[in-house]
Structure 1
Amino acid sequence: MPMSILERLASPQGLRTQEPNEEAAALCLESPELLEEIATGLASRDARLAGDCAEVMTKVGERRPEVTAPYAEALVLALGHKNGRVRWESAHALALVADRAAKVVEAALPTLEGLVCNHDGVIVRDYAIDSIARWGTTAPARASRAWEILRDALTAWDGRHAHRILGHGAALVALQPRLVGELRDAAASFVEDERAGTRKAAKALAKALG
């Protein structure tokens, strides 16, 4: 009897290498219907299995986000998983499809905003920011709402995520030009930041906005 897609993942085989998950992702790219089973695995109490499933969603989403977007709700639910790997892989996979699953992301904004403000994992916060920003590129009103959230997050965590937020600024302004003044001011406030990455992002945004 042929192995199911879940049985092909690393943890069911007792492995800790990436190759089985990469192979499973390749199969899902060829046959996207296999993602249905991967999505059910996201809710598994077996943290390693759920993490493998989230990793496959990310690997597939990097290549074909249109086939993982229908599983955005499952990814949102996985953001609350007890396991850290499941959370950050799911956050990554969601960020890849946030502009294709705008209604799901909009409903999840309180969850995403809560992650940005309160989650102790930097990676999860980064990808939550990406999801909010990419959702914001789908409509002018959403761009305004996304900026409201991200503006408040600029100084959170001692400004640790400012470079990432500023990096999304030009895309938001392109959709909602009325934000240009606020984003120009935001860029100006970070051009002398002590962190090189933040200074670079601020200067790039300032240049893009003119």
Structure 2
Amino acid sequence: MPVLDRLANALGRNDEAPNVALAESLAASGDEAGIAELAGAIGSAPQAVRNDAIKALYELGERRPELLAPHWQALFAALKSRNNRMVWGALTAIDTITAERSADIAARLPEILEAAAGRSAIARDKTVSILVKLAEAGHQARTLPILLDTLRTAPDNQLPSYAEAVGPLIGRDNIEEFRAILETRLRGMEQKSKRVRIEKVLRRLPR
């Protein structure tokens, strides 16, 4: 059966189970032609098909990023969609392959930042994850300033997880800036559980 016929919308389903099952099947089989068909669909198919296809693709990326990585350019094309579901789905998929294609993704970082600006919490979370993975892959000089700026403005409910992700990347050159940002944010943070998490990040920093 063609892969598009196995998506939820083709089966008359309103849940994501068929899309996840398709991703699992493709991960097990390594069906390159089927994966290419899915990647092509996110740029040309009707919206319902695109929504299901991007779900299957990022679920595939979670399981076998090396199979999705060759289609990274199709994911970037999806960032230009006006459909929020497609944008955060594409960011989720890109996040899964960042370690595989770090140089290509770093070169097109402005497109990621533009796509995520003003979008959903999921889009922000995935963008921070991409930036952290790029830093881990050797692109710290480019990504750490962006991450530090993100910590200055992130909503309180997202700040602890972002601080926890960025903390291990901090070195001698930026430790004081990192500390100052978190201490400033703490002064305006009311929820105790979030304060405790940020204080823990601060305690781990060398003095």
Taking structure 2 as the reference length, the TM-score comes to 0.85
Q: Percent identity?
A: 24
How far did residue 39 of structure 1 move? 0.9
> Structure 1: which amino acid aligns with 2:200?
A
The aligned residue for residue 185 of structure 1 is 180
User: Separation in 1 of the partners of 2:194 and 2:141?
Assistant: 22
Post-superposition Cα deviations, 1:165-201, rounded to whole Å, max 9, x if no partner, equal: 312213322xx55332322223323334224564244
Relative to structure 2, which stretch is displaced further, 152-161 or 60-69? 152-161
> Structure 1: which amino acid aligns with 2:205?
L
User: Separation in 1 of the partners of 2:167 and 2:11?
Assistant: 45
Relative to structure 2, which stretch is displaced further, 59-68 or 185-194? 185-194
Native 8 Å contact 2:91 2:112 kept in 1: no
Q: Of 176, 179, 199, which aligns to 1:203?
A: 199
The 3 A distance-change label for structure 1 pair 35 and 165 is same
User: Separation in 2 of the partners of 1:158 and 1:165?
Assistant: 10
Native 8 Å contact 2:160 2:197 kept in 1: yes
The 3 A distance-change label for structure 1 pair 153 and 29 is same
The aligned residue for residue 155 of structure 1 is 152
Q: Does residue 5 in structure 1 map to residue 3 in structure 2?
A: yes
User: Separation in 1 of the partners of 2:109 and 2:191?
Assistant: 29
What number of residue pairs does the alignment pair up? 203
Relative to structure 2, which stretch is displaced further, 156-165 or 28-37? 156-165
User: Separation in 1 of the partners of 2:179 and 2:21?
Assistant: 45
Taking structure 1 as the reference length, the TM-score comes to 0.84
Q: Which runs of 5+ in 2 are unaligned?
A: none
Native 8 Å contact 2:51 2:85 kept in 1: yes
The aligned residue for residue 37 of structure 1 is 37
Q: Which runs of 5+ in 1 are unaligned?
A: none
Post-superposition Cα deviations, 1:50-108, rounded to whole Å, max 9, x if no partner, equal: 11111112212222223222222221221222222222222112112222211222122
The aligned residue for residue 68 of structure 1 is 68
Relative to structure 2, which stretch is displaced further, 71-80 or 156-165? 156-165
User: Separation in 1 of the partners of 2:193 and 2:74?
Assistant: 33
> Structure 2: which amino acid aligns with 1:120?
R
The 3 A distance-change label for structure 1 pair 86 and 200 is farther
Native 8 Å contact 2:87 2:115 kept in 1: no
User: Separation in 1 of the partners of 2:193 and 2:56?
Assistant: 30
Within a 5 Å distance, the mapping from 1:95-134 to structure 2 comes to: 95-116=95-116, 118-134=117-133
Post-superposition Cα deviations, 1:28-63, rounded to whole Å, max 9, x if no partner, equal: 111221321111111134111111111112212222
The 3 A distance-change label for structure 1 pair 83 and 122 is same
- Cα RMSD over matched residues? 2.2
